[in-house]
Chains A and B, each alone.
Chain A
Amino acid sequence: MAKIQLNGKKVVIKSKYSILDLLKKYNLDKKKIAVEYNGVIVPKVFFKKKYLKNNDKLEIVHFIGGG
């Protein structure tokens, strides 16, 4: 188990959990989002291999209506 911060909220995940696993858990299409991992943008090709650990900070963003 690991405690991470996802979009400002505390989330508990299983160990050996990748960014891709997390996206699946929240039903997010990787084509429509971008991920920042501890302040660094993660290219989509690394989603599968990037495993999450305790105290990691993740931001997942998408496009919404705006001016």
Chain B
Amino acid sequence: MEDNLKKDIFKVAGTSLKSRLIIGTGKYKSLSETAKAVKASGASMVTVAVRRVNILDKTKPLLSDYINPKKTIFLPNTAGCFTSGEALRTLRLAREMGGWKLVKLEVLGDKKTLYPNMIETVKTTKILVKEGFKVMVYCTDDPLLAKKLEDNGASAIMPLASPIGSGLGIQNKVNISLIIKQSKVPVIIDAGIGTASDATIAMELGCDGVLINSAIAKAKKPILMAEAFKDAVISGRNSYLAGRMGKNHFATASSPTKGLI
């Protein structure tokens, strides 16, 4: 197993990640809880949002006071952007902030479902790639559109399992499998994971990684759940690499029948 893990490197746009679990840093009770959850999860990449500085409160603690961007990769995200223009503005500012080229794009299309607007998403991916960004793209689980993103230079395909923050788990395993089979870039499940076993299922399907926020932040004990996800992702990956047994409709005895008394 150890040898297997050593060879099994997870790379996104040339960056090697120690863990296949990526953590979202929103919705936690405090920054200290966020930092503890990230540590417990073993994640080496976290998503972050770009927002206005609160100029009225000079003493407000910063995310980077709790999570060191030199040790944990910050993946700027365009969460909350509903147009291509907003997403581009956000990521250009993010790049200026710290020189980040690896970013996560999401262009939302509907306030109730937070479903991605794929027409705007494809268009924006194209522009960002031209500007030299490495773009990990949140998308629907439509294999054709996923392919379109890859053709336009996406560094990772990030289909939803179910709507953002819903906790409904993977709703369309067939589509996710099709996307995994056709993609040459990493496929990372982005939204809708509800609990650790959902992440294992995603990894067993052959996903390269999973991104989790609400399922950890909204658990009764977020830090313990972060640990559960760490193990779930490792187990799912190992299970995928090991290759599951075939399914039979009838029983096959585990003990030999020869020598029965």
Contact = CB atoms under 8 A, between A and B. Distances in A.
Nearest to A8: B52
Given A43-B96, A61-B97, A67-B77, A32 B52 contact: no
Contact of A67 (B56, B76, B164): B164
B74 interface: yes
Contacts of A26: 53, 55, 58
B55 A66 contact: no
A66 B104 CA distance: 11
Contacts of A64: 48-51, 63
A31 B52 CA distance: 15
Interface residues of B, number: 37
Contact of A7 (B55, B96, B211): B55
Contacts of A35: 96
A14 B78 CA distance: 35
Interface string A25-67: 0111001111110000101100000000000000111111111
B55 A67 contact: no
B218 to A, nearest CB: 11
B29 to A, nearest CB: 11
Nearest to A35: B96
Contacts of B191: 67
Interface in A1-40: 6-9, 11, 26-28, 31-36
Interface stretch (B20-28, B181-189, B241-249): B20-28
Interface in B205-225: 211, 213-214
B48 A36 contact: no
A65 B53 contact: no
Contacts of B213: 67
A59 B52 contact: yes
Given A6-B55, A9-B55, A27-B58, A63 B50 contact: yes
Given A32-B97, A66-B79, A67-B213, A61 B50 contact: yes
A32 B62 contact: yes
Contact of A41 (B24, B92, B211): B92
Given A41-B92, A66-B47, A66-B77, A7 B53 contact: yes
A65 B94 contact: no
Contacts of B62: 32, 62-63
B220 to A, nearest CB: 19
B96 A63 contact: no
Interface of A: 6-9, 11, 26-28, 31-36, 41, 43-44, 59-67
12 contacts: A32-B64, A41-B96, A61-B51, A61-B97, A62-B97, A63-B49, A63-B62, A63-B64, A63-B94, A65-B31, A66-B24, A66-B51
